[in-house]
Amino acid sequence: MRLRLAPLSKLLLCLPVACCAQDSKYPPKNQLIPGPACLASRGLGGSPPCSDSAHAEWLNDITHWRDERRIRIGYDGSRYDHSAFGWTQSSFIQPQMMVQDRYFYDLVSRRYTVDRYLDDLDRRYGGIDSVLIWPTYPNMGIDNRNQHDMIRSMPGGVEGVKQMVADFHRRGVRVLFPMMMWDQGTRDPGKPWPQAIADLMKELNVDGINGDTQDGVPLAFSLAADKVGHPLAFEPEGSPSDEALAWNLMGWGQYGGQFDFVPGVDKYRWLDARHMVHISDRWNRSKTNDLQYAFFNGEGWESWENIWGIWNGITPRDAEATRRVATLERGLGAGLFSFIYWEPFFPMQHYGVFASGWSAFQSKAWTIVNRNEYEVEGPQMTVPHGGRYLDLYHGVELTPQREGDQDVLSFSIEAHGYGAILQIYGEPGNDVRSLLSKMNALTARPLASYSDQWTALPQQIVEIPATKKLATTPEGMVRIAGGHYLFRVEGIEIEGSNDIGVDVQCPWEDSPRRYHEHAIEMKSFFIDRFPVTNAQFKTFLDATKYHPQDDLNFLRDWSKGTYPEGWANKPVTWVSQDDARAYAAWAGKRLPHEWEWQLAAQGFDGRTYPWGNQWKPSAVPVPDKGRTMRGPDDVAAHPEGASSFGVMDLVGNVWQWTDEYLDEHTRGGILRGGSYYQPQGSMWYFPQAYRNDQHGKLLLMAPSYDRSATIGFRCVADAE
């Protein structure tokens, strides 16, 4: 039931204004306004039930706070009336999607698969309204590509990304990209960031921007977008100032430890109900709190499962609850939820059941949550007599019990469940009938019958076929004798703690984890003494005429088919894992497993670095901490960096490709050795792994995106 409403900025002028100084008994705590004190959990000695007067006193108090707060900040909500931003008020479900998600891009056909991605979400939890597409962190900082260079490196470049955005729009889904104002150590964009963002987003026809780590996106970014004729909706991650609500039309609700039994009222929704909040609670494996707080506040949810390549999938119960909540919110429409007449904590008859009332002209609805661990049924609420009452959640009409000039409504609410009531006069319209029918079918099966068991997503290692076994050591290679080797390594991901699902699942493990340890009986093998050089790679190209189908960024630092003068003995970079595999196959070799690489670097004595247990600056290139990158050193420039086997250039010059892991949604390449490039200014750049017992995991999307100025490779061959 979508309503045509007057602009809220005009309606606000008609509201009463408090004349006294700010004196609220219920000031916001961070982003949430606490409910009436009488609703607090009843412990020893109990507490009196909430009276109508107690509720009215609380509602008057927070209304007074809102009215005066708008005066204090000089609030002007006219931007919400802009025709370009109407979509924000009905953007209830928004995932943060990693571009490496295998449902989003098909490596074999080399095309974006937007329909496959959206169809999966439709099937699993009822679909989405907008999508935050994430192409940057945690890979950014592997070289000096800035946040926009990472977008331009996606398959098809700018034109490919533009068509992908159009594919989302074709399905009615709005598109956001992130901006990282902490990205001040990579390539300078050559213009102020507000202008750079506005220009590229206009070119891509993007709808909005998420401000990563930002407590409010400054007005300058909105003004820059307006100036180029492509207004953008900005959505900061953190809590903006109250004043910034006027131009930050969306935001996140990272309530965290504030998920109390009694729901809080979101401060920003209360200040302006047109402001869309997406609750973001990425690591929690149960989403009941997220969904119940969202439904109570008439706001949205960040349905974030792929967290930097770590899969925290939604359980079947949460998925079904999402489908039902989203269906109701979309069915009621932004007209109700973005209107000023919102009555949180409408009086209910059962303990632990909380409702918000939403009114617009002749329509009124209630969104209800049961915070109890048990079902509640029977009389639930008392309303003024008049009209008809529809139980939208169950898709049926209610028969009220008349008590004087009031009606008592009875219905059931599941444990940790939901309810929705709509008051109408006369016959329901077609949209309401459709919603009733849809919800009646959805709720025929109780939520309790869906599993709430969370499981980790299993991974597999990509097979590396063995080479022909060699009897003698090939030129340029070193023999590594086999033996009993205790392989210990940890992933250096910035986030994810030690939770199951972080990093990779080695072949001997039953789940992904950050710390890996396994005793391996190693067979003898040969490994390149140095990483493959530009000169060696050119010999391969001349012999095979190899050219990848996805050639964006291929040998990006070369020109006219050859490397720069003086770069013959520098390690070749800007090659994908597939490019490296092609070279290795031509040479009769293969890429190493990371335990082979690590043994060649560490030896059997478990040393910390190839040369010993103490860091030695002279054994590695001087770090490059600038924004332009000078290029790697020659492979033989640092003989002091040799391992006990005489293998060179293992650490600190260029990262080196080894294994690849994949699961249903993500691929990751294991990088060893670290590089000379150290972008400055932020802890969020791709971290270095110089120690022999550490590895990096680069999220893989496509060769164009995966190639880097700091990633090379060396090869191995099997020995008799």
- Percentage of the chain beyond pLDDT 70 is 96
Which of 36, 63, 66 lies closest to 52, judged by CA? 36
- Chain-wide mean pLDDT for the chain? 94
Q: What is the mean pLDDT of residues 120-124?
A: 98
Token look-up 């919110």 returns 329
Position 510 scores a pLDDT of 96
DSSP conformation class of 360: E
Residue 12 has pLDDT above 50, yes or no: no
Separation between Cα atoms, residue 245 and residue 226, nearest integer Å: 17
Convert the pLDDT of each residue in 562-579 to its tens digit: 999 999 999 999 999 999
Buried b (16+ CB within 10 A) or exposed e, 307-329: bbbbbbbbbbbbbbbbbbbbbbb
Position 13 scores a pLDDT of 38
Residue 83 has pLDDT above 60, yes or no: yes
Which of 273, 228, 253, 335 lies closest to 77, judged by CA? 273
Cβ proximity of 489 and 694 under 8 Å:
yes
Buried b (16+ CB within 10 A) or exposed e, 455-482: ebbebebeebeebeebeeeeeebbbbee
Position 4 scores a pLDDT of 36
End-to-end CA separation in angstroms for the chain: 74
CATH of domain 78-333: 3.20.20.80
Position 134 scores a pLDDT of 98
Separation between Cα atoms, residue 355 and residue 370, nearest integer Å: 9
Residue 443 has pLDDT above 90, yes or no: yes
Confidence of residue 41 (pLDDT cuts 50, 70, 90): low
Position 86 scores a pLDDT of 96
Q: Give the amino acid at 481.
A: A
Which of 186, 181, 177 lies closest to 96, judged by CA? 177
Give 460-718's CATH code, choosing from 3.40.50.720, 3.40.250.10, 2.30.29.30, 3.90.1580.10.
Answer: 3.90.1580.10
Say if strands 300-302 and 276-279 run parallel, antiparallel, or are unpaired. Answer: parallel
Q: What is the mean pLDDT of residues 112-125?
A: 98
Confidence of residue 258 (pLDDT cuts 50, 70, 90): confident
Position 6 scores a pLDDT of 39
Which of 37-51, 179-193, 566-580 bottoms out in mean pLDDT, i.e. has the lowest? 37-51
Instruction: Kindly state the helix (H) or strand (E) to which residue 384 belongs, with its residue range.
Output: strand 379-384
78-333 and 460-718 agree in CATH topology: no
Convert the pLDDT of each residue in 205-241 to its tens digit: 999 999 999 999 999 999 999 999 999 999 999 999 9
Separation between Cα atoms, residue 657 and residue 583, nearest integer Å: 13
Beta bridge partners of residue 368, listed in sequence order: 355, 419
Convert the pLDDT of each residue in 484-502 to its tens digit: 999 999 999 999 999 999 9
The residue ranges of DSSP E strands in 269-352, in sequence order, are 276-279, 300-302, 306-307, 310-311, 342-344
Confidence of residue 7 (pLDDT cuts 50, 70, 90): very low
Which of 52-61, 518-527, 569-578 bottoms out in mean pLDDT, i.e. has the lowest? 52-61
Position 333 scores a pLDDT of 87
Confidence of residue 11 (pLDDT cuts 50, 70, 90): very low
Position 50 scores a pLDDT of 81
| Domains in the chain: boundaries | 78-333, 460-718
Confidence of residue 646 (pLDDT cuts 50, 70, 90): very high
> How many Cα atoms are found within 13 Å in the side-chain-facing hemisphere of 647?
29
Cβ proximity of 296 and 263 under 8 Å:
yes
Confidence of residue 14 (pLDDT cuts 50, 70, 90): very low
Model pTM?
0.95
Computed from CA positions of residues 548, 310, 291, 320, in that sequence, does the dihedral angle turn out positive or negative?
positive
Position 256 scores a pLDDT of 80
Strand, helix or coil for residue 366: strand
Q: Give the amino acid at 105.
A: Y
